[in-house]
Amino acid sequence: MRQLKKTSIIFIFLILVLSFVTSSFGASLSEKTSELESTMNSEAVLIMETSTGKVVYEKNGYQIKYPASTTKIMTAILTLENCNLDETATASENAITSIPSGYQTANIQIGETLSVESLLYALMLPSANDSAVVLAEHVAGSVESFSDMMNKKAEELGCKNTHFVNPNGIHNENHYSTAYDLALITNYAMQNEEFRKIVTTTSFTLPATSAYPSETRTYMNTNNLIIPDYRDKSDNYYYQYATGVKTGFTSQAKNCLVSTAEKNGMQYTCVVLGASIDYVNGESVSHRYVDSIALFNYAFDNFSFRKIKSEKNNIKTIEIDNAKKDSKNLDLLIASDITALVSIDGKNTAFEPNIQLNENLKAPISKGDVVGTISYDIEGLRYTTDLIAGNSVEEYKPNHIGMYIVLVIIIIVIVFLIKKYINQKNRFKKRRNKYVVK
């Protein structure tokens, strides 16, 4: 009896474990998305795979919001593209006095000269608003001209709902963006090696200058995702895969964070806007970090790259009408690998190709020639590559000597028939004349 009871308990335990495993690992993407959605606190969120630009999740991701200091991502990349790091810039009176009380500064002094590199670190780590204006005036001559540069660049990058009026994100009703547009800007900025280096730096000290002779201006990066977890638990939002980028806050924008992360060869850009800070059991909970980490985990756990077709794969063989009889067949090969980002639901799905051959495709065709394209529509994205000729196809050309011989034979036959006709006609006339009565 005791043995039976023991066996029953083990059996029940195994059923519970199996049930847990099934619910944890067998859930569909829609179920996991619903679970994620229920945890989102921020007003607008979006996470995008970097290489494809695929948005794997968004909530109000295309809704216009105030970007606060995430604006400085654009300021940094424009500075890097228009200046050398060892150039120097001098702080004007406007750069220092135009910053409203309560906004973060790097304590730069009027007339102080610093390198562009130092100003960029001050811009991106402590989010110094004075540094932003110094850089803007150095690059474009004025904040207004620099703002024009920012808007032009945003348009070039495909931003549809972004308008900048300053280089730092100090609140202005005409200064706005969306989570999607900020992701586009960030993806572009992260292609710059120096930018990537700056946004992963945890702390920086501005050098002493004649205007500020002591080296006491040391600043921590405000992005807690990249700060190692040696601090108090309530402040610890360290995410080991994070690679940047920028925080932001104004009372109108609330807490914002644009972040990037890389894991197992995959890279994501995450944007969180309008997040709050709650207090639970006396400890603060910053939802810009909590939401960002949840979004990264969702993306890394539920999406992966899958090779759909390999380079030089033979897709099909077709016949070329005007080819020689012994070389009519043309092999269509994939020019390069087609790798797609697929969800857990699509990891085993068979995807049908769309093949487009060049118009008026005919011989001669050389091996390696581009003869068309092949594309796959997969979960909202189209992946396309060229089709190339796997072999050469020679054009069929009639033998002209043979044609001449045939032509001569035809002419001879025609002449013979004409001559035969004339001879028959003459014989008929003679015969008729013979019987004519005289």
Per-residue model confidence as pLDDT tens for the chain (438 residues): 445 444 444 444 444 444 444 444 468 899 999 999 999 999 999 999 999 999 999 999 999 999 999 999 999 999 999 999 999 999 999 999 999 999 999 999 999 999 999 999 999 999 999 999 999 999 999 999 999 999 999 999 999 999 999 999 999 999 999 999 999 999 999 999 999 999 999 999 999 999 999 999 999 999 999 998 655 555 589 999 999 999 999 999 999 999 999 999 999 999 999 999 998 888 889 999 999 999 999 999 999 999 999 999 999 999 998 888 888 899 999 999 999 999 998 888 999 999 999 998 999 999 999 999 999 999 999 999 999 999 999 988 876 566 667 778 888 889 888 888 888 877 777 766 666 554
Residue 8 lies in a domain: no
**7 falls within a domain:** no
241 shares its domain with 335? no
Size of the chain in residues = 438
Q: Go through 165-176 and write b for each residue having 16 or more CB atoms within 10 A of its CB, e for each that does not.
A: bbbbbbeeeebb
Output the six-digit token pair for 358.
């060049």
DSSP state of 344: G
Task: List the one residue out of 297, 187, 300 whose CA is nearest residue 245.
Answer: 187
Assigned domain for 231 exists: yes
How far apart are alpha carbons 407 and 22 in whole angstroms? 81
Q: What Cα–Cα distance (Å) separates residue 332 from each residue in 50, 314, 339, 395?
A: 31, 6, 19, 18
Q: What is the pLDDT of residue 6?
A: 47
- Do 149 and 267 share a domain, yes or no? yes
* Residues in Cβ contact with 236 at an 8 Å cutoff, skipping those fewer than 6 apart: 224, 229
Which domain-ending residue is among 248, 274, 303? 303
Cβ atoms of residues 211 and 294 within 8 Å: no
Task: For residues 251 and 345, state if they share a domain.
Answer: no
DSSP for 387-430 reads: EEESS-BPBP---HHHHHHHHHHHHHHHHHHHHHHHHHHHHHHH
- Residue 57 carries which side chain, given as an amino acid letter? Y
What's phi and psi for 126, nearest 5 deg? -85, 0
Q: Write the CATH number for 339.
A: 2.60.410
Q: Residue-wise over 282-308: b if at least 16 C-beta within 10 A, else e?
A: eeeebbbbbbbbbbbebbbebbbebeb
CB 253 within 8 A of CB 171: yes
Residue 42 and residue 35: Cα distance in Å, rounded? 15
The DSSP annotation for 31-45 comes to HHHHHHHHH--SSEE
Whether the CB-CB separation of 291 and 41 falls below 8 Å is answered with yes
In a domain, 317, yes or no: yes
Same domain, 420 and 376: no
Tell whether 339 and 371 lie within a shared domain.
yes
- 71 and 202 both lie in a single domain: yes
Distance CA 302, CA 298 (A): 6
Query: How far apart are alpha carbons 132 and 122 in whole angstroms?
Result: 9
- The DSSP line for 229-286 is S-S-GGG----TTEEEEEEEEETTTEEEEEEEEEETTEEEEEEEEEE-EEEETTEEEE
Look at residue 20 and tell me if it is in a domain: no
**SS3 annotation, 151-200:** HHHHHHCCCCCCECCCCCCCCCCCCEECHHHHHHHHHHHCCCHHHHHHHC
Whether residues 437 and 361 share a domain: the answer is no
Give the containing element (helix H, strand E) for 90.
strand 88-90
Tokens 């494809």 locate to 52
23 falls within a domain: no
At which of 303, 320, 345 does a domain end? 303
Q: Which two tokens stand for residue 99?
A: 């910053």
pLDDT value for 15? 42
> How many domains does the chain divide into?
3
Peptide bond before residue 67 is cis, with ω within 30 degrees of 0: no
State the burial class of residue 161 (Cβ atoms within 10 Å of its Cβ: 0-12, 13-18, 19+): middle
Using an 8 Å Cβ cutoff, are 146 and 24 in contact?
Answer: no
pTM: 0.83
Same structural domain, 268 and 369: no
Whether residue 287 contacts residue 325, with contact meaning beta carbons closer than 8 Å, is answered with: no
Q: What's the pLDDT score for residue 230?
A: 55
Same domain, 177 and 100: yes
Q: Which domain holds residue 197?
A: 29-303
Query: How far, in Å, CA of 95 to CA of 91, rounded?
Result: 6
- Same domain? For 285 and 314 the reply is no
Domain containing 220 — which CATH number?
3.40.710.10
Examine the fold and report which residue of 261, 282, 303 is the final residue of a domain before the chain moves on: 303
At 375 the three-state DSSP class reads strand
Residues 168 and 125 reside in one and the same domain: yes
Q: How far apart are CA 163 and CA 150, in angstroms?
A: 8
Is residue 215 one of the residues assigned to a domain? yes
What is d(CA 125, CA 224) in angstroms, rounded to the nearest whole number? 11
Same domain, 169 and 266: yes
Whole-number Cα distances in Å, 386 to 26, 51, 309, 310, 365? 37, 19, 12, 12, 15
Question: Is position 1 within any domain?
Answer: no
